[in-house]
Each structure stands twice: as C-alpha cells, then as structure tokens.
Amino acid sequence: MQLRNGPQTIGLVTRLLHWGTMLLVVVMLALGNRIADMQPGLDNLWLYGLHKTLGFLVLALTLARIGWHIASPPPPPIGPRDVAHWAARAAHWAFYALLLAIPLTGWAGSSATGIDVMIADRWTVPPLVEASAEAEAFWFRLHDILTKVLFGLVTLHMLAAFKREMDGDGTLTRMLKGRT
C-alpha cells in the first residue's frame, strides 16, 4: 500500500484526505443550511457547536493536505495539457482556496457575535474580528456566498470526474484505487 503520491499514482494519504474531506463537506453544507434557517436557542445550540467543530476539522485537514502535497505532490490530471487539463487544475486550486476561506469566514462571523468560539465545547479559539452587528452580517454573508460557490464547483467537478471515467481515461478509478 503506497502512502506517497507517485508520478502517475495517487497515494493512500491523498485519497483518504480527498474522500474524508468530501464526506465532511457534504455534511457541513447540509448542516450549515439547517442552522441558518433556525432561531438559535438552548435546544439547538449543539448543532451550531457541531458545525463549528467540524468546520475547524475541515480547516485542519486542508492545511494538512496542502502540507502533504508540498511534501508529496499529486500527479497531474490524466491526458493532454488541453483546456480541460487547466480547467481541472484551476478547480483544484479553487477548492483549496474555498476550503480555507469558508471556515475562516465562519470563524470571523461567529467571532463578530461576541460569543466565545469553541471547538468541541472545550477549547476556546481567539476571536478573528471585533464584535459588531455589521461585521457579523458581512462575514456570514460572505460565508454563505462562498459555500454556494463551493456547492457549484463540487457539482461540476463530480460531473467532470464521471464523464472522464465514462470516456475511459480512468480518472475516477485512480482517485479510488490509486492507479488506473
């Protein structure tokens, strides 16, 4: 079982980070939309706590993923260096940017409420911005917009992966098994 990425193969660490993050992001998009529609109260505070804790986990996994990909770069997309190749690369960079910016805007919006931001109800993280109603509205609006961009990009990325697999280039097989 190869842990590191090769020139044409995707190692176990990258695959676990990819699919683990995917599962978390799907849960987070659903959970975020759920809490945004709720009136915060004592009975549902745990859902906010869960969303924040999992959001920090996504942030930590994304930093780990960037670090790992500096140490062990993943192979380039399969096929010629055409428009689809560069579109795939741009989408991958955009994912990294979004997976950093979304947790940070959620953290900033939560700091702006003036309530302590906690991980797992246990560790308090420092506020990113000063508390104010304007800052809260601004950062949560940005959080909302970026999550919609992420949702759109995930949909396109998934369709592209299925299309390439059906065209027979083995792109999806490589992300699942490590090699085509």
Closest CA to 17 of 75, 49, 73, 58: 58
Site residues (CB under 6 A) for ligand HEM, limited to 120-139: none
Find the farthest-apart pair of alpha carbons in the chain and give their distance in angstroms, rounded.
55
Which of 5, 11, 61, 106 is close enough to bind ligand HEM by CB under 6 A?
106
Distance in Å, CB of 63 to ligand HEM, minimum: 12
The closest residue (CB) to ligand HEM is 32
Which of 4, 9, 72, 92 is close enough to bind ligand HEM by CB under 6 A?
92
Which of 87, 100, 128, 144 is close enough to bind ligand HEM by CB under 6 A?
144
CA distance 69 to 139: 29
The Cα angle at residue 102 between residues 120 and 99, in degrees rounded to 5: 90
Check binding of 112 to ligand HEM (CB under 6 A): no
Query: Hey, how many other C-beta atoms are within 10 angstroms of the C-beta on 66?
Result: 13
Distance in Å, CB of 180 to ligand HEM, minimum: 9
CA distance 130 to 112: 6
Whole-number Cα distances in Å, 138 to 36, 153, 172: 15, 23, 38
Site string for ligand HEM, 21-60 (x = CB under 6 A): xx--x--xx--xx-xx-----------x--xx--xx-x--
Check binding of 107 to ligand HEM (CB under 6 A): yes
The CB-side HSE value for 130 (13 A sphere, CA atoms) comes to 1
CA distance 152 to 168: 25
Residues making contact with ligand HEM (CB under 6 A): 14, 18, 21-22, 25, 28-29, 32-33, 35-36, 48, 51-52, 55-56, 58, 74, 77-78, 88, 92, 95, 99, 102-103, 106-107, 110, 117, 140, 143-144, 147, 154, 157-158, 161, 171-172, 174-175
